[in-house]
Amino acid sequence: MRIIDLTHMINADTSVYPGTEKPVFEQANTIEKDGFAEVKITMYNHTGTHMDAPAHMVEGGTTLEKFKPGKFFGKAICIDCAQMPDKVITKEYLMPYKDTIKELDFVLFKTGWSEKWLTKDYFINYPTLSDEACKWLTGFELKGIGIDTISLDTIDSADMENHHIILKKGMVIIENLTNLHELDQNIFTLSCFPLKFENADGSPVWAVAMYMD
Protein backbone atom coordinates (compact mmCIF):
# COMPACT_ATOMS: atom_id res chain seq x y z
CA MET A 1 0.00 0.00 0.00
CA ARG A 2 1.20 3.52 -0.85
CA ILE A 3 0.09 6.31 1.47
CA ILE A 4 0.51 9.89 0.24
CA ASP A 5 0.21 12.80 2.65
CA LEU A 6 -2.07 15.53 1.21
CA THR A 7 -1.86 17.83 4.24
CA HIS A 8 0.06 21.03 4.96
CA MET A 9 1.95 21.31 8.23
CA ILE A 10 0.28 23.67 10.72
CA ASN A 11 2.71 26.04 12.42
CA ALA A 12 3.04 29.72 13.28
CA ASP A 13 3.77 30.57 9.62
CA THR A 14 0.76 28.73 8.15
CA SER A 15 -1.02 30.55 5.32
CA VAL A 16 -4.43 31.68 6.61
CA TYR A 17 -7.42 33.29 4.92
CA PRO A 18 -6.96 37.08 4.79
CA GLY A 19 -8.24 38.64 8.02
CA THR A 20 -7.77 35.44 10.02
CA GLU A 21 -5.16 35.32 12.78
CA LYS A 22 -2.30 32.88 12.41
CA PRO A 23 -2.01 29.94 14.83
CA VAL A 24 -0.33 30.61 18.18
CA PHE A 25 1.66 27.87 19.92
CA GLU A 26 2.50 28.34 23.61
CA GLN A 27 4.58 25.92 25.66
CA ALA A 28 2.21 25.43 28.59
CA ASN A 29 4.21 22.74 30.39
CA THR A 30 7.72 21.33 30.07
CA ILE A 31 9.31 18.07 31.12
CA GLU A 32 11.98 20.02 33.01
CA LYS A 33 9.49 22.05 35.06
CA ASP A 34 6.39 19.85 35.21
CA GLY A 35 7.50 16.35 34.32
CA PHE A 36 5.50 16.39 31.08
CA ALA A 37 5.26 18.48 27.93
CA GLU A 38 2.07 20.14 26.73
CA VAL A 39 1.39 22.91 24.21
CA LYS A 40 -1.55 25.32 24.13
CA ILE A 41 -2.66 25.92 20.55
CA THR A 42 -4.90 28.84 19.59
CA MET A 43 -6.23 28.90 16.04
CA TYR A 44 -9.34 29.16 13.91
CA ASN A 45 -10.99 25.86 13.02
CA HIS A 46 -10.59 26.50 9.27
CA THR A 47 -6.80 26.62 9.50
CA GLY A 48 -4.44 24.69 7.24
CA THR A 49 -5.74 21.72 5.28
CA HIS A 50 -9.28 21.71 6.57
CA MET A 51 -12.86 20.65 5.93
CA ASP A 52 -15.93 22.88 5.61
CA ALA A 53 -19.19 21.48 6.96
CA PRO A 54 -22.57 22.55 5.55
CA ALA A 55 -22.99 24.61 8.75
CA HIS A 56 -20.06 26.79 7.64
CA MET A 57 -22.28 28.67 5.19
CA VAL A 58 -25.80 27.22 5.40
CA GLU A 59 -28.19 28.27 8.17
CA GLY A 60 -29.17 25.11 10.03
CA GLY A 61 -26.64 23.06 8.07
CA THR A 62 -25.09 19.89 9.47
CA THR A 63 -21.97 20.18 11.61
CA LEU A 64 -19.13 17.70 11.17
CA GLU A 65 -19.65 15.76 14.39
CA LYS A 66 -23.22 14.96 13.30
CA PHE A 67 -22.01 12.94 10.32
CA LYS A 68 -21.17 9.25 10.62
CA PRO A 69 -17.41 8.50 10.33
CA GLY A 70 -17.91 6.98 6.89
CA LYS A 71 -18.55 10.50 5.56
CA PHE A 72 -14.82 11.17 5.72
CA PHE A 73 -13.51 8.06 3.97
CA GLY A 74 -14.02 6.64 0.52
CA LYS A 75 -13.10 6.20 -3.14
CA ALA A 76 -11.64 9.25 -4.86
CA ILE A 77 -9.97 10.53 -7.99
CA CYS A 78 -7.76 13.57 -8.58
CA ILE A 79 -8.44 15.55 -11.75
CA ASP A 80 -5.55 17.56 -13.17
CA CYS A 81 -6.83 21.09 -13.83
CA ALA A 82 -3.51 22.95 -13.77
CA GLN A 83 -3.79 24.01 -17.42
CA MET A 84 -7.35 25.34 -17.36
CA PRO A 85 -7.67 28.56 -19.39
CA ASP A 86 -8.71 31.60 -17.36
CA LYS A 87 -8.19 29.48 -14.22
CA VAL A 88 -11.82 28.33 -14.31
CA ILE A 89 -12.64 24.62 -14.03
CA THR A 90 -15.70 24.17 -16.24
CA LYS A 91 -18.41 21.56 -16.52
CA GLU A 92 -17.25 20.81 -20.06
CA TYR A 93 -13.76 19.98 -18.79
CA LEU A 94 -15.19 17.57 -16.22
CA MET A 95 -17.67 15.82 -18.53
CA PRO A 96 -15.22 13.10 -19.72
CA TYR A 97 -14.99 11.94 -16.08
CA LYS A 98 -18.74 11.49 -15.72
CA ASP A 99 -18.82 7.68 -15.68
CA THR A 100 -15.92 7.51 -13.24
CA ILE A 101 -17.39 10.08 -10.85
CA LYS A 102 -20.59 7.99 -10.63
CA GLU A 103 -18.57 5.36 -8.77
CA LEU A 104 -16.79 7.74 -6.37
CA ASP A 105 -17.20 9.38 -2.97
CA PHE A 106 -14.79 12.30 -3.51
CA VAL A 107 -13.33 14.31 -6.36
CA LEU A 108 -10.12 16.30 -5.83
CA PHE A 109 -8.91 19.06 -8.15
CA LYS A 110 -5.21 19.61 -8.74
CA THR A 111 -4.44 23.18 -9.76
CA GLY A 112 -0.79 23.27 -8.70
CA TRP A 113 -1.51 26.27 -6.48
CA SER A 114 -0.15 24.57 -3.35
CA GLU A 115 3.34 25.39 -4.65
CA LYS A 116 2.60 29.01 -3.66
CA TRP A 117 1.85 28.06 -0.02
CA LEU A 118 3.46 30.47 2.50
CA THR A 119 3.69 33.23 -0.12
CA LYS A 120 1.40 36.20 -0.81
CA ASP A 121 0.75 34.82 -4.30
CA TYR A 122 -1.22 31.95 -2.76
CA PHE A 123 -4.17 34.34 -2.34
CA ILE A 124 -4.05 35.97 -5.78
CA ASN A 125 -5.92 34.80 -8.90
CA TYR A 126 -6.05 31.14 -7.93
CA PRO A 127 -8.19 28.68 -9.95
CA THR A 128 -11.79 27.94 -8.98
CA LEU A 129 -14.70 25.92 -10.32
CA SER A 130 -17.47 27.57 -12.29
CA ASP A 131 -20.85 27.60 -10.56
CA GLU A 132 -22.15 25.41 -13.39
CA ALA A 133 -19.45 22.83 -12.64
CA CYS A 134 -20.36 22.88 -8.95
CA LYS A 135 -24.05 22.37 -9.74
CA TRP A 136 -23.16 19.48 -12.05
CA LEU A 137 -21.10 17.81 -9.32
CA THR A 138 -24.02 17.93 -6.89
CA GLY A 139 -25.90 15.63 -9.27
CA PHE A 140 -23.70 12.73 -8.16
CA GLU A 141 -23.76 10.85 -4.84
CA LEU A 142 -20.51 12.43 -3.69
CA LYS A 143 -19.56 12.90 -0.04
CA GLY A 144 -17.38 15.88 -0.87
CA ILE A 145 -14.85 17.62 -3.09
CA GLY A 146 -11.38 18.99 -2.42
CA ILE A 147 -8.94 21.47 -3.93
CA ASP A 148 -5.36 22.69 -3.39
CA THR A 149 -6.28 26.37 -2.99
CA ILE A 150 -7.35 28.61 -0.10
CA SER A 151 -11.02 28.55 -1.13
CA LEU A 152 -13.54 27.05 -3.52
CA ASP A 153 -14.58 30.63 -4.32
CA THR A 154 -12.48 33.57 -5.49
CA ILE A 155 -10.87 35.67 -2.78
CA ASP A 156 -13.11 38.65 -3.59
CA SER A 157 -16.37 36.68 -3.73
CA ALA A 158 -19.13 38.36 -1.75
CA ASP A 159 -21.76 35.60 -1.93
CA MET A 160 -19.50 32.49 -1.87
CA GLU A 161 -21.77 30.88 -4.48
CA ASN A 162 -19.66 27.74 -4.98
CA HIS A 163 -19.62 27.04 -1.24
CA HIS A 164 -23.40 27.44 -1.04
CA ILE A 165 -24.03 25.15 -4.02
CA ILE A 166 -21.92 22.33 -2.58
CA LEU A 167 -22.73 22.70 1.11
CA LYS A 168 -26.50 22.98 0.59
CA LYS A 169 -26.37 19.45 -0.85
CA GLY A 170 -24.88 18.12 2.40
CA MET A 171 -21.44 17.64 0.89
CA VAL A 172 -18.18 18.68 2.55
CA ILE A 173 -15.38 20.79 1.05
CA ILE A 174 -11.68 20.14 1.70
CA GLU A 175 -9.42 23.14 1.08
CA ASN A 176 -5.65 23.78 1.17
CA LEU A 177 -4.72 20.29 0.00
CA THR A 178 -1.12 19.65 -1.09
CA ASN A 179 1.04 17.07 -2.85
CA LEU A 180 -1.67 16.37 -5.41
CA HIS A 181 1.11 16.14 -8.02
CA GLU A 182 1.99 12.78 -6.43
CA LEU A 183 -1.41 11.36 -7.39
CA ASP A 184 -2.19 9.78 -10.73
CA GLN A 185 -5.67 9.62 -12.26
CA ASN A 186 -6.40 6.15 -10.94
CA ILE A 187 -8.96 5.66 -8.20
CA PHE A 188 -7.57 5.72 -4.65
CA THR A 189 -8.94 5.70 -1.11
CA LEU A 190 -9.17 9.10 0.58
CA SER A 191 -9.08 9.43 4.37
CA CYS A 192 -9.82 12.93 5.69
CA PHE A 193 -11.09 12.74 9.25
CA PRO A 194 -11.78 16.01 11.11
CA LEU A 195 -11.34 16.60 14.83
CA LYS A 196 -14.46 15.60 16.75
CA PHE A 197 -15.81 18.57 18.69
CA GLU A 198 -19.24 20.09 19.18
CA ASN A 199 -20.78 22.48 16.68
CA ALA A 200 -17.97 21.96 14.19
CA ASP A 201 -18.65 24.15 11.15
CA GLY A 202 -15.16 23.15 10.06
CA SER A 203 -12.00 21.43 11.26
CA PRO A 204 -8.40 20.78 10.31
CA VAL A 205 -7.96 17.32 8.77
CA TRP A 206 -5.02 15.05 8.11
CA ALA A 207 -5.89 13.99 4.57
CA VAL A 208 -4.09 11.06 2.97
CA ALA A 209 -4.45 9.10 -0.26
CA MET A 210 -4.05 5.33 -0.21
CA TYR A 211 -3.27 3.21 -3.26
CA MET A 212 -3.66 -0.55 -2.89
CA ASP A 213 -0.64 -1.59 -4.98
Question: What integer pLDDT is reported at residue 177 of this predicted model?
Answer: 98
Mean pLDDT, rounded, for 193-201: 98
Residue 86, pLDDT score: 85
C-alpha–C-alpha distance, residues 49 and 147, integer Å: 10
What whole-number distance in Å separates Cα of residue 151 and Cα of residue 172? Answer: 13
pLDDT of 128-150, one tens digit each? Answer: 999 999 999 999 999 999 999 99
pLDDT attached to residue 93: 96
Whole-number percent of the chain with pLDDT over 90? 96
- The fold adopted by the segment(s) 2-7+45-211 is Glucose Oxidase; domain 1 (3.50.30)
Locate the domains of the chain by residue range.
2-7+45-211
Q: pLDDT of 164-173, one tens digit each?
A: 999 999 999 9
Residue 213 has pLDDT above 80, yes or no: no
Whole-prediction pTM value? 0.96
Q: Residue 115, CB half-sphere, CA atoms under 13 Å: how many? A: 7
End-to-end CA distance of the chain: 5
What pLDDT, on a 0 to 100 scale, did the predictor assign at position 85? 80
Q: Which residues, other chains included, contact 10 with Cβ-Cβ below 8 Å and sequence gap of 6+?
A: 23, 43, 47, 48, 204
Confidence of residue 60 (pLDDT cuts 50, 70, 90): very high
| DSSP class of 139 | T
CA 190 to chain centre: 12
- Give the Cα separation of 159 and 195 in Å (integer): 27
